[in-house]
Structure 1
């Protein structure tokens, strides 16, 4: 048995490809005392039976950056370590069998170009030239990526492990972690067992790379790692005479992928209804194990595959394989510092893309660990996006049935998960359902996304074109712009910061000035040391020693964790109070008149100007109104304790009959904020976007002596902007924008849209996107000609640095 040292700077738990990658990259950064503990043998969980597909293109820029890094790393790993990785750049083809899928993959191809990935749209006949065995009946189009490839998963992991050892890392097999010791918000060490021998290793930090055991290991460390194992099927044929190297082929409309391997053909499946595994826990002796065959489950995929690739009908099946892989609730992997602890890191839950992700994920995590801050935006996969309830095993069992199949499902805009729904409901949930609300889900919250008309079906009909709710949203949008609308904002996070140092703490953590009177609302950002945006919030001073921080629903936990991690010696208490109050947004030119009809309080500019809050009577109850807006109109957010929420809703709806009040949903809010140029956190503003380049310098008060990010803001002011966030509107009213569409300036790709939505008042699809501008004035930037690439077609666009709708905000302050 290998000797386990008494202490390590870091203990990595799990010897699959991701654990080996983290060890490799930490040692590459010069870390000493890196110890990896593997319960059985390296790769013996999921890595050994992975298909080994290595693709570059992912859904966002940074995920694509990580996938590109992986394939570049694997290309050089064999030379560095002497371990054959089997890595081949054989290319990949994805074919579309429907017009909707064709639009999806062509939009992806356009996005790929913006991200610097070589990609080619090809015709069915061109597919046949590259893949002569394919039946192209029904093929509508395809994309080809020549640098994609495949590799030997186990050997890639073993090469990474050898690279780590060569630089002094310890990789110790047959050593199971039996417990993790903790003190406050830090782990102090790991209990281990080798056969009959037991011991303890103290550690400065721990990385959970335990794959499908990640949930269980997380519980030991006091952190939530929501994932669940599912059965994953593929077959390998007997050797096929004359079969030579082929590109990896994906036929997502038939839930299938194909890979030539040593003269045999591998056919894998991502079936729409998956089979979760090991509800009672993974067997203790699990090692290189297969699960029982289930040919009935796989048969529909195989039938379609035999038709798609007729040579399979003649080929015998050499192997029918069923092995477990872990899946997360949203099909994105978990990476980063766990929000519950200050020295527990996670890299797990790779949703069948572990091989292509492991190189980049290991690189990004090790840089984050080394520098103490993210190397770039990792919000897509940051573990802090997961809500505490998502660790519930019943929830994970139900959701995992769907998430495996979603990998190859159509990735339509606004697509909602169908399983494990209804967990978090606002106090207005039933009231909204009774009036036609069609619900979406975000961070577990059921939210009214749009309101169906009487007699209209209450469900999504997905498309890349105008979806069935397009006109509903347009009507809601018009009500907000011309009259009055109301929508539920209860899901937004609410965090109280209280204590004798509350003011000093807020002035340190945020870029705004919080030395304000009680009732004043400050729109602000929390900045990192580089001036990047960690959180985008509104802060209301409730009293001398208390503030209410309102956050986006999806980032409430991350924003709270950011505050806790930076609390230092400030004497404050931080409390999540999200569920305690319901919030109704009453917005539009008639919002003041409606509120005056239900409350004796004064809503005039003299008493309640923009950016202030006041306690009010409403109906027979009490509430607090915040005069702010995310839609660019006069309006108030009405905060009411959960017990009185139903009464306040009914009071407003009843009085609203005299004003033609319209119930609205979240999609409307997005279309209105897009016209006003309001930023959306996670898309338009992230940890790597400088607050000044995002156009939010007005919210940062550098006259304050000491706050996080101050030096970076002053440096950027001195050096000048390198990028600017620009608002665009297509001149053709027909095409639609979502996000990631390439931005062309004078015919050259210079960036991509960070978000997009339809501007129903301005009459065209709109988007926000960063454009390089080093050494240029605003006038020079706007003097150019701009186009947006929509599915390979260039569409002219107007560009503006000021909001195209109500640029002076007169309507907000009327």
Structure 2
């Protein structure tokens, strides 16, 4: 409901009454939250943000499961509310490459549960969209539940159906975050004390976060939209742009908001080959374009709404409409539209705009609790398409500690606001990254594509040596990580018979050297740069008690022992998998992956640690080498006086020792299924560590090994990867990790796991291998039983030691038994496959424990 007098206190304040803020408030109310206040700088419901200047088109299918799931939830919610036009959506192909992409669209929709996805012939497209020039297209992808949301009506529906109190024309001046806790929201109409605050300001997200001292990478960008005057082709359509906003306070040009309020009567469409989209507005047609150079907006210069100006709308720039300025497109927006929709060629325009929306560096939303300020939540970089779903996820997360939709827990690894690297908040960096994401928004991005900008930002002490060895560097979390080494090209001839050709889409940007490094490591010894991985030091008199509380396994072990454990949320979902090393009675080293792990996992530990426990995230503070292979012990023994025999240094133990002159913590663990160690040393010793091992192992044919080999080797062993095989959408039993749970200890998530065991585990992580193909499958492909999708490919690679193409999926327990025949649909083809027991390689661990 909407009220007039601003309160002085609330339990939760939501800043922003657009699509996302309204959704968060509505869902908080649905879950029973009380005393929720929503404020916005603009009038209600036409706030003046992107929610009211956007055309409201909703294409639900995405390569991302969570994006698809949140879109579908949003369409169902708004359809039930009566503010959604379910006219369907058609994505067109003007090239064979795009037609292949649309086949992937069908597969993603099938995997993630969208109803009745289908490919259309050109004739079938024009049956739905008569204005399309059939000669210009090869076909289309049709999703019948796509459509358009009436933005203004939807915002009003949220206000009318929520128990939250809404206040328009209220500008936030500052956030009181003293003591690392959000205490109040200061506005031009007074201060509201609060326990929780949600930032849902999207275009102003960077500025809002700055008030709390946070550098969130939220980059505003302009894109173009025009609405034609009424067209003869739509003369029989009942409805035209009229008086939908009569009586409402509207910042800026009323014609834009008025036009957006008029719904479509035909499927919404898009021509991604030319970065275009379109829909009819009653008897007019709206034409949207990303087909121009990136028009970035300084996030500090977003400005404010006034009676005559909507800050999230800029003046229409004709040159970007009529001239080809997009780096990857040959035609201008107008030229491409004239060809595709000839009737628009000479049409006059009723409304034009350069509307603003935002991108993060990776193009995904920024959602969840912030790391630095308790009680401060982010719900940013979200479009209308996903707004209902993310509002539900944030509300569940805030109220119940478990991010979820009605269909179940969701994977948060790719959307968590804490995933960004320390450098990501620098404005020039994230504005540039956002510009690149804008450029690519409708582009077909090749597998394992790598950016050329902002390279060399984070490098390990081994970097110069890796360059000399011809490393092919990939960027991961800002780190330069070697994917393979040209110096190992000679190994390809040695293993030629074991390395199949990898053609097609999944073979792009791959090298046979990756396979050769895999096989060489199994035969000899290799060194892998793990510097991008992170260590977290946990110390203090209550360190053991704290870790017992947050770890699913019993980590109260003897000094020198190593435990594999999980961090779980309250619902039993996997927040992280970690290695816990006890270095002393009250001193532990936890190791985890790179990328988003330090921010998400480390931040979670910091948040839960008592005052008597110190949590220090050593991101980039240590250099680490994985030394793996049958000759690993022989090589390491040459460099240390420590006893590293199997009896003197058993598997899953640790020692503090010297490698040459270098002090190191050595862990006898292996992520590739071979004898070996992880050697962790302060970063200043890293270069010498590499040189000592490399020089000592020349006669053993020691080689550097890249990330490509690591990927295929770990999959052969079934070792899990956070954000790929495991995340908050799976519990340890579903993920096949029961050995990482000790139900005799008391840990966060235990009650949920006990309940899950009682109810039965219906889904299991399952390896499958292709029966008669060496192709590498694409992630997101549906796994079929009797023609019905029962799961999808989570991770896939070729198992060079097995001679089999491998994939991991989650299947219902009834189909997860070894020997079950399944099929996988990938790139439009059906592959026969068989469920296998795990691990696929060396099930007796003979190669590790020797």
CA shift, 1:576, in A, is 0.9
Alignment of 1:68 with 2:72, yes or no, is yes
Deviations 1:162-183 (A, max 9, x none): 322xx3x221111111111124
SS at match of 1:535: strand
Q: Which residue of 2 aligns with 1:766?
A: 806
Alignment of 1:565 with 2:587, yes or no, is no
CA shift, 1:656, in A, is 3.5
CA shift, 1:332, in A, is 0.6
Q: Which residue of 1 aligns with 2:627?
A: 586
Q: 1:258, 1:201 → 2: CA distance? A: 42
Q: 1:463, 1:382 → 2: CA distance? A: 33
Deviations 1:402-436 (A, max 9, x none): 01122211143222344333332222233323322
Q: Which residue of 1 aligns with 2:174?
A: 179
Matches within 5 A, 1:769-808: 769-773=809-813, 781-808=817-844
In structure 2, the CA distance between the partners of 1:271 and 1:443, relative to structure 1 (3 Å rule), is farther
Matches within 5 A, 1:542-691: 542-553=583-594, 554-567=596-609, 569=610, 571-691=612-732
SS at match of 2:188: strand
CA shift, 1:285, in A, is 4.8
Q: 2:422, 2:157 → 1: CA distance? A: 36
In structure 2, the CA distance between the partners of 1:9 and 1:596, relative to structure 1 (3 Å rule), is same
On the 8 A contact 1:96/1:253 being kept in 2, the answer is yes
In structure 2, the CA distance between the partners of 1:432 and 1:529, relative to structure 1 (3 Å rule), is same
SS at match of 1:629: coil
SS at match of 2:399: helix
Q: Which residue of 1 aligns with 2:81?
A: 77
Match of 1:478 among 519, 529, 545: 519
Match of 2:203 among 204, 208, 212: 212
Q: Which residue of 2 aligns with 1:288?
A: 310
CA shift, 1:570, in A, is 6.6
Match of 1:230 among 221, 245, 250: 221
CA shift, 1:280, in A, is 4.6
Deviations 1:531-585 (A, max 9, x none): 3211111111121211111112122211122223333x47210001122211111
Q: Which residue of 2 aligns with 1:92?
A: 89
On the 8 A contact 1:725/1:801 being kept in 2, the answer is no
CA shift, 1:143, in A, is 1.3
On the 8 A contact 2:204/2:299 being kept in 1, the answer is no
Q: Which residue of 2 aligns with 1:359?
A: 388
Alignment of 1:103 with 2:100, yes or no, is yes
On the 8 A contact 2:401/2:571 being kept in 1, the answer is no
On the 8 A contact 2:293/2:320 being kept in 1, the answer is no
Unpaired runs of 5+ in structure 1? 79-84
CA shift, 1:228, in A, is 1.1
On the 8 A contact 2:227/2:287 being kept in 1, the answer is yes
Q: 1:417, 1:237 → 2: CA distance? A: 38
CA shift, 1:273, in A, is 4.4
Match of 1:382 among 416, 423, 426: 416
Q: 2:649, 2:452 → 1: CA distance? A: 42
Deviations 1:444-483 (A, max 9, x none): 2222223345999xxxx99723124231211121122222
CA shift, 1:272, in A, is 7.2
Q: Which segment drifts farther, 320-329 or 421-430?
A: 421-430
Q: 1:765, 1:731 → 2: CA distance? A: 8
Deviations 1:624-655 (A, max 9, x none): 32211111111211212211211222233333
Deviations 1:36-75 (A, max 9, x none): 1111224302222112111222333333221111111111
Q: Which residue of 2 aligns with 1:81?
A: none
Q: Which residue of 1 aligns with 2:43?
A: 41
In structure 2, the CA distance between the partners of 1:586 and 1:141, relative to structure 1 (3 Å rule), is farther
RMSD: 2.4
Q: 1:653, 1:630 → 2: CA distance? A: 20
Q: 1:104, 1:475 → 2: CA distance? A: 31
Alignment of 1:696 with 2:737, yes or no, is yes
Q: Which residue of 2 aligns with 1:57?
A: 61
On the 8 A contact 2:506/2:777 being kept in 1, the answer is no
SS at match of 1:632: coil
**Alignment coverage as a number of residue pairs:** 787
On the 8 A contact 2:363/2:434 being kept in 1, the answer is no
Match of 2:320 among 286, 291, 297: 297
On the 8 A contact 1:100/1:464 being kept in 2, the answer is no
On the 8 A contact 1:505/1:570 being kept in 2, the answer is no
Q: 1:680, 1:311 → 2: CA distance? A: 52
Match of 2:356 among 318, 324, 332: 324
CA shift, 1:136, in A, is 4.5
CA shift, 1:677, in A, is 1.0
In structure 2, the CA distance between the partners of 1:51 and 1:734, relative to structure 1 (3 Å rule), is farther
On the 8 A contact 2:793/2:808 being kept in 1, the answer is yes
In structure 2, the CA distance between the partners of 1:294 and 1:765, relative to structure 1 (3 Å rule), is farther
Q: Which residue of 2 aligns with 1:334?
A: 366
Q: Which segment drifts farther, 124-133 or 184-193?
A: 124-133
Q: Which residue of 2 aligns with 1:152?
A: 150
On the 8 A contact 2:401/2:569 being kept in 1, the answer is no
On the 8 A contact 2:565/2:580 being kept in 1, the answer is yes
CA shift, 1:239, in A, is 2.4
Q: 1:784, 1:260 → 2: CA distance? A: 49
Deviations 1:264-295 (A, max 9, x none): 22222224741211255322456524323333
Q: Which residue of 2 aligns with 1:307?
A: 339
On the 8 A contact 1:272/1:404 being kept in 2, the answer is no
Q: Which residue of 1 aligns with 2:473?
A: 439
SS at match of 1:813: coil
Alignment of 1:524 with 2:522, yes or no, is no
Q: 1:148, 1:468 → 2: CA distance? A: 33
SS at match of 2:169: coil
Q: 1:333, 1:544 → 2: CA distance? A: 41
TM score, norm. by length of structure 1: 0.92
Q: 1:766, 1:584 → 2: CA distance? A: 27
SS at match of 1:563: helix
Alignment of 1:812 with 2:842, yes or no, is no
CA shift, 1:742, in A, is 1.4
Q: 1:98, 1:768 → 2: CA distance? A: 32
On the 8 A contact 1:100/1:463 being kept in 2, the answer is no
CA shift, 1:320, in A, is 3.4
CA shift, 1:766, in A, is 1.3
Deviations 1:294-331 (A, max 9, x none): 33333223223322332232323444321221111111
Q: Which segment drifts farther, 211-220 or 462-471?
A: 462-471
CA shift, 1:145, in A, is 0.5
SS at match of 1:765: strand
SS at match of 2:681: strand
Q: Which residue of 2 aligns with 1:26?
A: 28
Q: Which residue of 1 aligns with 2:498?
A: none
Deviations 1:200-226 (A, max 9, x none): 111121110111211121122244432
CA shift, 1:730, in A, is 0.9
Q: 2:468, 2:783 → 1: CA distance? A: 43
On the 8 A contact 2:57/2:385 being kept in 1, the answer is yes
Alignment of 1:741 with 2:781, yes or no, is yes
CA shift, 1:614, in A, is 1.9
On the 8 A contact 2:136/2:339 being kept in 1, the answer is no
Q: 2:778, 2:225 → 1: CA distance? A: 34
In structure 2, the CA distance between the partners of 1:800 and 1:205, relative to structure 1 (3 Å rule), is same
Q: 2:288, 2:768 → 1: CA distance? A: 42
